[in-house]
Chain A
């Protein structure tokens, strides 16, 4: 039944009175005014008959609007005013018996109406309250729904709801986009495989089945999306509960981790490079606390990785370089972005100096603000050692060269002094220098450490060709020191030259025996090197009237360098040279050059 306009007016009036109650004083004032107004109407227009009837509607309205108290007040006021308006001059207070009875009846009826109306009003109030509660519950629900949908919409994840049969019920807007789908409708109702292709089907199906039975699963796996691109997904599959029970529906939250994974892999790669680098790689904060040091760095300075994080930059620097680091290097890194050069570190345990090639650089945020210092250092010790070694070698080489030149100077001067003609002098110098040069070859092969006698003799004899085959060489392997080798080479050269010119090799039949051996002594200090040059079958020998440079040189240099007893004997049947030296002296290489 549709409410009439009047009903609706009353309803509105009633709700207004209930929801916005007036102050009690006002309520009573309105009641008083209304009843007085009714009384006046009654006095002016209505006859004595039924004086109370007019008051009924007013009392009813007042009780409905303001409740029981005001209604009862209006009832008694009506009874009094109605009685007053019909009062005469006789009877008790101007009312006769019948009027008193009627007044009592009015009171009883009116009180009944007031009680009834106030109950009705209370019912209305309850209904109104319920209505308002329902309304606010609806409002809260709407707000929650708006909240949830905005949360879903703002999530970058791909959020999917599957029904009992693992068909797609719902996909978020962002999820749809991440999956390369044009419209949600495209896949609604299709099996979940429509969203991801080439996925590890067993794992995904297993997770969905587990979720529909109430278990939650997380995994990461690659899958192709609509359009064919292969992406990596971090997936969480969980059951959807309704009132604490399983609904059979499944919530699938998948996050595209392709870019993150690529970044992670890149980071891993770089970390491996840093970990495995043979260089010192470290990072310190702006206040110079060391935040990271790779294993090679720890190793270089003798620190454990844990201890490294409790150090500061200056702990690593050689005291002599601290000032330079603070005043030159760090400002250069701050201002120019990097600094490179040589620097010295200090070993934490041994305190040793470690020369390094230092490359320092800024560690900065993306906006370019400085947050720390990085350094890559390479141990320079080897290079430095090599440099020192090189310098020593150069000095040594220069020293040897000068010694050789001095020797050449002596050989040349002596050859010239002894020669009869300039031509003889020239040839003698050349031949002696050739012998010297050949001996040098043998020494160079052992870095001027020793020369093997057999090789030395063979080398010196070689230029004499076929003739040298008449020199029978026999001796064990003995390595002699460089100066002894040079002296012996020159001596053999002189002897051979002399034999070819005047001695055993000057005819067709003569021979030379060159022998050496080691004799005597169980202990090395007693052992001696013996060498003989014995010519036989040559022309008759007469001792020379004047000793030439050759023979003097042979005797004196062999004596000096071998600390030997040397005898050059011009026997009539042929020259014999004997050398008897302490073996230790011949092979010792520690003599100053």
Chain B
């Protein structure tokens, strides 16, 4: 119902998070706020989705994830391949230094407040 509120400006967010329960919660929240949500459990899956779906305008990724590539490398890949995409990077471990983070990215320490993130993204839009 909410998704129909703003069909023209609907934005697509890719949530890359291996913690399923949290991913589920984020997905519910963003969907309820009118976003189209795509989910991935690791970086490889995310890259495949990104290549197939040009409508993705926001990538929210965790840093610590299983697989050959972690979230930080995924974020750099996104910044290089899809420059206009907004990047949100979250981690429960130590905060990476500014030089480790890609340009124009938002860093969130886990646990973070998804409602606040939602407001920030809406304001930026």
Taking beta carbons and an 8 Å cutoff, which residues of A are in contact with B? 395, 398-400, 402-403, 405-407, 409-411, 413-414, 417, 487, 552-553, 556-557, 559-561, 591-593
Contacts and interface: CB of A to CB of B under 8 A. Distances in A.
A446 B65 CA distance: 22
A482 B113 CA distance: 25
23 contacts: A399-B92, A399-B93, A402-B109, A402-B111, A403-B92, A403-B110, A405-B111, A406-B19, A406-B110, A407-B22, A409-B22, A410-B21, A410-B22, A413-B25, A413-B29, A417-B28, A487-B20, A556-B24, A559-B20, A560-B20, A591-B66, A592-B66, A592-B70
A413 B66 CA distance: 25
A406 B17 CA distance: 11
Nearest to A588: B66
Contacts of A557: 20-21
Which one of B19, B29, B94 has the highest number of Cβ atoms from chain A below 10 Å of its Cβ? B19
Contacts of A402: 92-93, 109-111
Interface of B: 18-22, 24-25, 28-29, 41, 64-66, 70, 92-94, 109-111
A399 B92 CA distance: 5
Contact of A395 (B20, B41, B93): B93
Nearest to B90: A406
A485 to B, nearest CB: 14
B19 A403 contact: yes
A395 B110 contact: no
A572 B109 CA distance: 46
B60 to A, nearest CB: 13
Nearest to A406: B111
Contacts of A411: 21
A407 B23 CA distance: 10
Nearest to A557: B20
A395 B95 CA distance: 11
B20 A561 contact: yes
A399 B28 contact: no
B110 A556 contact: no
Contacts of A398: 92-93
Contacts of A406: 19, 22, 92, 110-111
Contacts of A553: 20-21, 24
A409 B20 contact: no
B64 A399 contact: yes
Contacts of B65: 592
A377 to B, nearest CB: 34
Nearest to B113: A409
Contacts of B21: 407, 410-411, 414, 553, 557
Nearest to B21: A410
Given A403-B19, A410-B25, A592-B70, 20 more contacts: A395-B93, A395-B94, A398-B93, A400-B92, A402-B92, A406-B111, A407-B19, A407-B21, A407-B22, A410-B19, A410-B22, A411-B21, A414-B21, A414-B28, A553-B20, A553-B24, A556-B24, A560-B41, A561-B20, A592-B64
B70 to A, nearest CB: 7
Which one of B65, B66, B94 has the highest number of Cβ atoms from chain A below 10 Å of its Cβ? B66
A561 B41 CA distance: 10
A413 B65 CA distance: 23
Contacts of B25: 409-410, 413-414
Which one of A398, A411, A593 has the highest number of Cβ atoms from chain B below 10 Å of its Cβ? A593
B24 A552 contact: yes
Contact of B24 (A405, A410, A487, A591): A410
Contacts of B109: 402
A592 B66 CA distance: 5
Nearest to A411: B21
Contacts of A399: 64, 92-93
A407 B65 CA distance: 15
Nearest to B17: A406
B18 A560 contact: yes
Nearest to A559: B20
A32 to B, nearest CB: 132
Contacts of A552: 24
A591 B20 CA distance: 14
A414 B24 CA distance: 8
Contacts of B92: 398-400, 402-403, 406
A536 B117 CA distance: 46
